[in-house]
Structure 1
Amino acid sequence: MSGLRVAAIQHEIVWHDREANFARLAPTIAGAAAGGAGLVLLTETFSTGFSFDTPGIGEREGGPSSQFLAEQATTHGLWVGGSCPEVSPEATDDDQRPSNTFVLAGPDGTVHRYRKIHPFSHAEEEKYVRAGNDFVTVEVDGVRLSLFVCYDLRFADEFWTLAADTDAYLVIANWPAKRRVHWQTLLRARAIENQAYVVGVNRVGSGGGLEYSGDSTIVDPLGEVLASGAGGETVLFADIDPAHVASTRAHFRFLQDRR
């Protein structure tokens, strides 16, 4: 089968301790590589916890978290992704808010960046985080991957916009346990309505006064759950096959009926 084996790492985060998180995650990434993964996904803010209101939390673009992802990618010969708070080189002196940046690093040193488009206004996130503007779709081993972060999952129109050129949506998150039903439902909805895979990776444990239940899930283009995990640290594996996306869309010609 052509395609890509994905490993979704559902993990806890040591609050505000990048080096501790790097040390904890490196062996898990190595294990995922040994399991045949061509792409390994960590969570949103995998190295710090979701703490954008903390002064100085932002890193320069290409800082320690990005470097960790790139080093893991080249070491194991695969793609590795996760998000971190990065201050863009275009940031002005009077606005040093970081972006919530999904960094996807490849084995050849290639690095792609998606800056989360939707700050979570319910928590006044826009005060601390610069919103991104551009969608990002990356082709890896013949699989077209579109990148999203957490709250983006609620905006179906943006997934629709990218559907024709997407085989799998990657959604990394710090989604609180108290809204876990929303997370679970929306992941499957985005897969079903776009006839594409969805890989949702969420953290577990606690941080910043919130509890996280994980519920990481990999869904196929028909809405079938290929792998899921709740409660504790785990690694989910699934094979992403673009031929399955194409055949599903050819058989059920739903996308062409959109207006």
Structure 2
Amino acid sequence: MDQELNVALLQLDLVWQDPVANIEQIENLISQIDQAVDLIVLPEMFTTGFSMDARNLAQPDLGPTLGWMIGLAASRQSAICGSLIIEAEGNYYNRFYLVTPSGEVHRYDKRHTFTLAGEDRVYKSGQDQVLIEYKGWRILPQICYDLRFPVWVRNTMEYDLVLYVANWPGKRILAWDSLLRARAIENMAYCIGVNRVGVDANGHHYPGHSAAYDELGAILTEEQFEVSGIQYALLDHSKMHSTRQKLRFLDDRDRFSLQV
């Protein structure tokens, strides 16, 4: 396995319901990456912003944006991930994709749809946890509101990294900062959260605060990062494993089965 994983966190001011404009700004930002990275992380619904207009914005599972991700991952030799509005099997999903440079496509459907915004009335909730293996790292993908539900991500699968993509508003940014750190500490794993910035058409303000935390909750990125741009986080598997072996907190975790 690769002992180190270099991750680029892309924080964007998403253009409301405009996939062309958002892809253009993502490509511009990616062109500014000045070092070798293993994984590029984009926000939730990175082509549209957090929209409930799935009828007009949804793409098929093998649609143009996924094709763009596959091409980009191959040309950059970096995995790329984020979530999109997808129509499949007669339903709409807030679907996370991670695409590897070799063209492997991994999918995760958001489990906890955000009832406060009516997401539960538009998008079908996912039922399955997904564990992605990439370069020897075990990655658990999550989307935004999933962050509030620790049982769903309890580290019973020996994952190394839990990864959140989000459109998390400023009114509740303290919860974002606090819960990302908590998920890292309680699961003794790296935790990365990538949020958007700017103001959407509904007047919601998003302050970013994209960040990476290590297995003890230490922040690895600039704190309170609030503008469009790139953050880098270098994850060290040996360090994390050594900490787990020394402290062994996970040995004392509660055992349970999860019903969904």
TM-score range, shorter chain: over 0.9
User: How many pairs are equivalent?
Assistant: 251
Q: Deviations over 1:90-132 (max 9, x none)?
A: 22xxxx4x10001111111111111101101122211111111
Alignment-derived partner of residue 63 in structure 2 = 63
1:25-44 alignment, distance < 5 Å? 25-32=26-33, 34-44=34-44
Distance in 2 between the 1:78 and 1:31 partners? Answer: 14
Distance in 2 between the 1:148 and 1:222 partners? Answer: 20
Gaps of 5+ in 2: 255-260
Q: Deviations over 1:148-204 (max 9, x none)?
A: 0000011101111x4442111110000001100000000000000011000100000
Distance in 2 between the 1:113 and 1:237 partners? Answer: 24
Structure 1 residue runs of 4 or more that deviate by more than 4 Å after TM superposition: none
Distance in 2 between the 1:154 and 1:5 partners? Answer: 26
3-state SS of the aligned residue for 1:209? Answer: coil
- Residue 175 of structure 2 corresponds to residue 182 of structure 1: yes
Counterpart selection for 1:220 from 214, 231, 240: 214
- Asked whether the equivalents of residues 193 and 210 of structure 2 are also in contact (C-alpha less than 8 Å), the reply is yes
Gaps of 5+ in 1: none
Distance in 2 between the 1:193 and 1:70 partners? Answer: 34
1:180-259 alignment, distance < 5 Å? 180-207=173-200, 208-228=202-222, 229-259=224-254
Q: TM-score, normalised by structure 2?
A: 0.92
Report sequence identity in percent. 38
Q: TM-score, normalised by structure 1?
A: 0.93
- Residue 167 of structure 2 corresponds to residue 166 of structure 1: no
- Asked whether the equivalents of residues 12 and 204 of structure 1 are also in contact (C-alpha less than 8 Å), the reply is yes
Could you tell me how far 1:69 is from its partner in structure 2? 1.5
- Asked whether the equivalents of residues 54 and 85 of structure 2 are also in contact (C-alpha less than 8 Å), the reply is no
- Residue 93 of structure 2 corresponds to residue 99 of structure 1: yes
- Residue 134 of structure 2 corresponds to residue 140 of structure 1: yes
- Asked whether the equivalents of residues 101 and 114 of structure 1 are also in contact (C-alpha less than 8 Å), the reply is yes
Counterpart selection for 1:116 from 110, 113, 118: 110
Aligned-residue CA RMSD (Å): 1.4
